[in-house]
Amino acid sequence: MSRDALAGLRVLVSAGPTFEDIDPVRFIGNRSSGKMGFAIAAAAARRGAGTVLVAGPVTLDTPAGVDRRDVRSAAQMHAAVLGALPADVYIGAAAVADFTPAEVAEGKIKKQPGSGGLTLELVRTADILADVASHALRPRLVLGFAAETADLEANAQDKLRRKRVDMIAGNCVGVAGSGFEADDNTLHVFDATGSHVLGPGPKTGLAEALLDLVAARLQ
């Protein structure tokens, strides 16, 4: 397979967590280092794709040749990803918050003497992957990730249909040495025709293997 099938294409990747502010000092976040998405963006750029990386708050260096756009919240990531269209390929590797506080307190929320806990009202965030997949400027190939602790295949198949995406890369996050924050991972990639297991191995190698599958789909 040609390694440069992505050369000259525009590849849009989202990576990392999102942070949803509660007040000026607290937030709700997802456990995500961004390593998988950054490895994918680095590999896409090495193959000659014009690569845009929308990154949540992470402590990773920008891969060579990648146009990086930093965001914090799910709403900001949504705007940055949709604003980066058109693209030939979208790979949604970010761990986007599904819920965000209904209101952000202007000042730090203080403990009230004598009172017990704090009740937060959360509202749903927009689903970036689903919105890209149903967009008028829909990329030719839309790939989403699924971090599951159980029923990986059933959940991935459900996501393929529900979000109208072309490929889902699922990883079991309950397994030691795999999933978020780890350097290694195993990916179970599903599309309408079947599934592939990539790994276990370093996320850098998995990124290459995943892009081989993407490139094959684009031929």
Nearer Cβ to ligand C5P (48/191): 191
Count of residues engaged in binding ligand C5P, rule: CB under 6 A: 13
Stretch that binds ligand C5P, among 103-111, 138-146, 176-184, 205-213 (CB under 6 A): 138-146
Helix (H) or strand (E) holding 48: none
What's the burial of 143, exposed, middle or buried (CB within 10 Å: 0-12/13-18/19+)? buried
Q: Tell me whether residue 84 or residue 146 sits nearer to ligand C5P (CB atom).
A: 146
Footprint of ligand C5P on residues 66-95 (CB under 6 A)?
A: 74, 92, 94
- 64/136 with CB nearer ligand C5P: 136
For strands 167-172 and 99-101, give the pairing.
unpaired
- Residues near 105 by beta carbon (within 8 Å), at least 6 away in sequence: 22, 23, 24
Q: Which stretch binds ligand C5P (CB under 6 A): 65-73, 110-118, 127-135, 198-206?
A: 127-135
123: left (phi over 0), alpha (psi -120 to 50) or beta: beta
Q: Rule CB under 6 A: is residue 167 a binding residue for ligand C5P?
A: no
Give catalytic residues, as residue numbers.
30
Spatial contact of 183 and 159, defined as CB atoms under 8 Å apart: no
The interface with ligand C5P within residues 145-164 (CB under 6 A) comprises 145-146, 159
96 part of the interface to ligand C5P, by CB under 6 A = yes
Report the sign of the C-alpha dihedral through residues 150, 213, 192, 35, in that order.
positive
48 touches 6 (CB < 8 A): yes
Whether the Cβ atoms of residue 122 and residue 101 lie closer than 8 Å to each other = yes
- Rank residues 5 and 94 by Cβ distance to ligand C5P and give the closer one: 94
Show contacts with ligand C5P in window 20-59 (CB under 6 A).
Answer: none
CB of 146 to ligand C5P, least distance (A): 5
Residue 12 sits in the site that holds ligand C5P (CB under 6 A) = no
Q: Between 29 and 48, whose beta carbon lies closer to ligand C5P?
A: 29
Contact 81, 12 (CB under 8 A): yes
Binding residues (CB under 6 A) for ligand C5P: these are 74, 92, 94, 96, 98, 125, 127-129, 144-146, 159
